[in-house]
Amino acid sequence: MRITGGCFCKKIRYSATIDPKTVTICHCTDCQINSGTAYGVVVGVINEEFILEDGKLTYFEKIADSGARRSLAFCSTCGTRIYAKPADGKPGRFGIRVGTVDQRESLIPRQQAFFNSALDWVTDITNLKKM
């Protein structure tokens, strides 16, 4: 599936080819802290088909708990996280942050990663007051 997306301040625009079956909620502690919220939602890019259409990405490199070196791309103006992929060109998961995808309504999570570190409350929000 071909998608488009971008950051909060609109300086970054991209297009990519993704597999909608790979939409994943990630409960790892890196996603909790880096997103500033309870979990990350990512979708896998097929064959690294990510095209930066406009703007300039800034990168932060992080060694994940698994030991893998991950390159995290974000907008240096507004701070929106765009994607994470393996550093130094190694194969591995190239995940776009679903919140930045224009077509995010149609990207439904199919699995949850690192569920061991999920915050206790995230599995049951259906009865919370709706405002």
Task: Name the segment binding Zn ion (CB under 5 A); options: 56-64, 77-85, 97-105, 120-128.
Answer: 77-85
Strands 24-26 and 111-113 come out as parallel
The only residue of 16, 75, 96, 118 in contact with Zn ion, by rule CB under 5 A: 75
Q: Which of 3, 7, 16, 107 binds Zn ion (CB under 5 A)?
A: 7
The 3 state secondary structure assigned to the chain is: CEEEEECCCCCCEEEEEECHHHCEEECCHHHHHHHCCCCEEEEEEEEEEEEEEECCEEEEEEECCCCCEEEEEEECCCCCEEEEEEHHHCCCCCEEEHHHECCHHHCCCCEEECHHHCCHHHHCCCCCCCC
Interface with Zn ion (CB under 5 A), residue from 11, 13, 62, 104 = 11
Residues contacting Zn ion: total by CB under 5 A: 10
Q: What is the per-residue binding string for Zn ion in 12-51, x denoting contact by CB under 5 A? A: --------------x-x--x--------x-----------
Least Å distance between CB 122 and Zn ion?
13
Task: State yes or no: residue 122 binds Zn ion (CB under 5 A).
Answer: no
Binding residues for Zn ion, rule: CB under 5 A, are 7, 9, 11, 26, 28, 31, 40, 75, 77-78
